[in-house]
Amino acid sequence: MRSSLSTADGRQWLRLRQLRVQRARQALAQAQLEERQARGVVDERQARIAQGRTRLAELAWHWGGAGSVDMPRWGDQLKAHRESLAERLERDEYALLDEQDALAQAQGRVRERHAEMARAQAREAAVDATLKDQHRETLLARDQQAELEAEDASRPRH
């Protein structure tokens, strides 16, 4: 028969595995929160870019139509305003690239934390199964010993 852990050692081993699962679950929750935050930043930036494109289109539409009458008077200001909007749009587009990279990294961390949690849960399940097997073996050994003792007690002694 193989050596076995004491009941206290077995409980401690299982508790350690359970704590690792708990820490893995917490790390996953944190990674998911960071991913949601990164997704929010990307969504906000995309909305800002769409708004910037709309402003530029509206500016072009207005000054190409009804506002063209005032073009000579406001031309310099219009050019400066259009350049300002275009520059802001360009900065937002560059910032979006960085924010999308951050989102991809956050998504990668979520995948890693999922894998870590799955490994921790598998280890916990293995320890639990090992301890249950050990408990069954102990009970079986006790039953066998009790049967042997009963047989010995029932045999006549010469």
pLDDT for residue 96: 97
**Using an 8 Å Cβ cutoff, are 114 and 28 in contact?**
yes
Residue 5 lies in a domain: no
Residue 155 lies in a domain: no
Residue 146 lies in a domain: no
Residue 97 lies in a domain: yes
CA distance 67 to 65: 6
pLDDT for residue 39: 98
Residue 150 lies in a domain: no
**Using an 8 Å Cβ cutoff, are 1 and 141 in contact?**
yes
| pTM beyond cutoff 0.85 | no
- In whole angstroms, what separates CA 88 from the centre of its chain? 33
Residue 71 lies in a domain: yes
CA distance 67 to 64: 7
pLDDT for residue 1: 41
pLDDT digits (tens, 9 = 90+) for 64-97: 666 565 666 666 787 898 899 999 999 999 999 9
Residue 34 lies in a domain: yes
Q: How many domains does the chain have?
A: 1
Find the domain containing 60 and state its range: 14-122
pLDDT for residue 55: 92
**Using an 8 Å Cβ cutoff, are 71 and 35 in contact?**
no
Residue 142 lies in a domain: no
Axis-axis angle for helices 71-154, 7-64 (nearest 10): 160
Residues of the chain with pLDDT under 50: 1-2
